[in-house]
């Protein structure tokens, strides 16, 4: 040893070896790919943080048509011509837990994205305070929006309020009452956070011309009015609906029914714009409008049901403006009626947006809330506002029960094939069993009160064993 080595050489070798190992450690440390953005940097910039929120609107626009068609098939709004099992299951009220899971999975994915935005915004000093405030308000509003639809379809649902998969994967269902508690809390916070003007993508100033594609304080107020109505807090529902109705600077009923569903119509409280580029204006227009006989697939496979057609009073302008028909050239010729609220089948020239919240519903919410509080005069006024626009005479209802029936009917013909209103109305007003026990057999199914709730997807019950199934599935 003493001849071969000198201590400094050992040290030198060791240092070289250490440098070499360090270099190898570096070698396997790689940068993030250029095509993706690391989450922390997404929330370090106003534009990218906004993009993380607005991307959810881009994705959820497809839900409008499916929610409308599914609930339309389930209830008495649509006639089915599809041979797809998924559509037949809706139509004959015979859903199974292994079909039609996309709404459930999509919605929970949106909620994940919403929670990710909320987590990215919390304690964030890199973003402009007004951006943080607006985005946080939008996220809370949107979370309430989706929990509302989930609980109305599935009843008690798992309440996911963080992105932590170790918690979410084991969540049990939360009672509908607690879910509404969460919805109302989120909406109240959203009301205080959201701008009362429609905001543009760059800053929080008002858009000019007014572009109603991002939620505002008024969207939160309108949805809060609906949440209070559904939870039977009628006084509160009336207050919130009134706040929206009174904002006549932003919202007025369109006198011409053909203008209601145009983009940024005076009636719109919140709309979704189709993400660009696009060949279509709205999925609703593309998939409801029949330019031939109904198809056997999922899209363009339904027509307006006889029940709905017959529900229109004579002279109702909504029948002529919002419903159109296609007649075959065969003998005998057949006529199919289809929803025509959205009038553009396919076009890259964007004239229509998907309506999410509109003023007419607020009038009907207030009418119902007033009727429930026995303010029948106020009820009549609101109801007649809607009837007048449709070219109909004032309501003939005089008792509370008659008013409630009149409101249910008015909702049927005003809000048909919009996000499933009819289905939820039948259930929440307790009319589902009486109506569906007649309609379901006509559609080839057998009605059971259990079919009011959707089945929880079997996949999730298998994975999250804290989840339970709804009765009957």
DSSP 452: G
Q: Which of 208, 248, 329, 434 binds other proteins (CB under 8 A)?
A: 329
| C-beta of residue 338 within 8 angstroms of C-beta of residue 325 | yes
The span of 19-27, 184-192, 317-325, 358-366 binding other proteins (CB under 8 A) equals 19-27
CA–CA separation, 341 and 321 (whole Å): 7
Q: Is 57 in the site for other proteins (CB under 8 A)?
A: yes
CA–CA separation, 425 and 412 (whole Å): 9
| C-beta of residue 426 within 8 angstroms of C-beta of residue 435 | yes
367-396 footprint of other proteins as x/- string (CB under 8 A): ------------------------------
Give me the least distance between CB of 184 and other proteins, in Å please: 21
Enumerate residues 6+ apart whose C-beta is below 8 A from 192. 137
Q: Is 52 in the site for other proteins (CB under 8 A)?
A: yes
How deeply is 232 buried, as exposed, middle or buried, from its count of CB atoms within 10 A (0-12, 13-18, 19+)? exposed
Q: Is 328 in the site for other proteins (CB under 8 A)?
A: yes
Q: Which of 13, 128, 210, 438 binds other proteins (CB under 8 A)?
A: 13
- Count the site residues for other proteins by CB under 8 A: 105
Q: Which of 140, 143, 214, 341 binds other proteins (CB under 8 A)?
A: 214
Q: Is 445 in the site for other proteins (CB under 8 A)?
A: yes
Q: Is 278 in the site for other proteins (CB under 8 A)?
A: yes
| C-beta of residue 417 within 8 angstroms of C-beta of residue 288 | yes
DSSP 183: H
Q: Which of 129, 393, 449, 472 binds other proteins (CB under 8 A)?
A: 472
Which candidate, 425, 426, 421, 414, places its Cα nearest to that of 261?
A: 414
Q: Which of 70, 94, 216, 282 binds other proteins (CB under 8 A)?
A: 94
Q: Is 122 in the site for other proteins (CB under 8 A)?
A: no
Partners of 354 in the β-ladder: 272
Q: Is 201 in the site for other proteins (CB under 8 A)?
A: yes
Q: Is 1 in the site for other proteins (CB under 8 A)?
A: yes
Read off φ and ψ for residue 3, nearest 5 degrees. -85, -30
Q: Is 46 in the site for other proteins (CB under 8 A)?
A: no
Q: Which of 62, 130, 200, 433 binds other proteins (CB under 8 A)?
A: 200
Residue numbers 132-161 binding other proteins by CB under 8 A: 158, 160
CA distances from 409 to 346, 353, 383 (A): 32, 26, 11
The span of 55-63, 226-234, 351-359, 363-371 binding other proteins (CB under 8 A) equals 55-63
The span of 69-77, 95-103, 257-265, 429-437 binding other proteins (CB under 8 A) equals 95-103
| 302-304 and 323-327 strand pairing | unpaired
Token readout for 331 is 């003998």
Q: Which of 7, 8, 30, 246 binds other proteins (CB under 8 A)?
A: 30
């Amino acid at each position: 040893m003493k001849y071969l080595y000198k201590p400094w050489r050992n040290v030198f070798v060791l240092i070289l070896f250490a440098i070499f190992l360090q270099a190898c450690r570096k070698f396997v440390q790689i940068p993030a790919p250029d095509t993706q953005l690391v989450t922390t940097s997404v929330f370090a910039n106003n534009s990218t943080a906004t993009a993380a929120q607005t991307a959810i609107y881009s994705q959820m626009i497809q839900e409008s048509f499916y929610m409308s068609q599914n609930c339309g098939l389930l209830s008495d709004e649509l006639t089915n011509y599809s041979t797809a099992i998924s559509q037949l299951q809706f139509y004959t009220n015979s859903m199974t837990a292994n079909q039609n899971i996309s709404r459930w999975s999509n919605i929970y994915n949106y909620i994940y994205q919403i929670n990710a935005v909320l987590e990215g915004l919390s304690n964030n000093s890199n973003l402009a305070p007004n951006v943080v405030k607006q985005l946080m308000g939008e996220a809370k509003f949107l979370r309430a929006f989706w929990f509302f639809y989930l609980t109305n379809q599935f009843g008690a649902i798992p309440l996911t309020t963080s992105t932590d998969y170790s918690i979410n994967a084991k969540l049990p269902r939360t009672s509908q009452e607690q879910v509404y508690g969460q919805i109302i809390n989120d909406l109240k916070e959203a009301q205080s956070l959201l701008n009362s003007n429609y905001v543009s993508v760059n800053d929080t100033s008002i858009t000019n011309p007014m572009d109603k594609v991002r939620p505002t304080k008024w969207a939160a107020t309108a949805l809060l009015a609906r949440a209070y109505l559904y939870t039977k807090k009628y006084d509160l529902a009336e207050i919130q609906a009134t706040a929206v109705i009174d904002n006549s600077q932003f919202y007025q009923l369109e006198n011409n029914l053909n203008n209601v569903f145009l983009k940024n119509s005076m009636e719109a409280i919140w709309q979704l714009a189709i993400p660009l580029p696009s060949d279509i204006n709205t999925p609703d227009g593309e998939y409801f409008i029949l330019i031939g006989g109904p198809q056997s697939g999922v899209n363009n496979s339904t027509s307006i049901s006889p029940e709905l057609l017959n529900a229109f009073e004579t002279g109702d302008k909504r029948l002529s403006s919002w419903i159109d028909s296609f007649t075959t050239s065969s003998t005998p010729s057949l006529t199919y009626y289809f929803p025509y609220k959205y009038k553009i089948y396919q076009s890259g020239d964007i004239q229509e947006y998907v309506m999410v919240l509109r003023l007419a519903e607020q009038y009907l919410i207030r009418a119902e809330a007033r009727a429930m509080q026995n303010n029948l005069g106020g009820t009549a006024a609101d109801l007649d506002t809607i009837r007048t626009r449709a070219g109909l005479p004032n309501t003939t209802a005089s008792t509370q029960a008659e008013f409630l029936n009149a409101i249910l009917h008015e909702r049927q013909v005003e809000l048909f094939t919009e996000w499933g209103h009819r289905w939820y109305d039948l259930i929440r007003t307790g009319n589902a069993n009486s109506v569906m026990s007649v309609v379901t057999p006509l559609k080839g199914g057998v009605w059971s009160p259990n079919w009011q709730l959707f089945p929880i997807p079997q996949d999730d019950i298998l994975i999250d064993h804290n989840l339970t199934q709804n009765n009957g599935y």
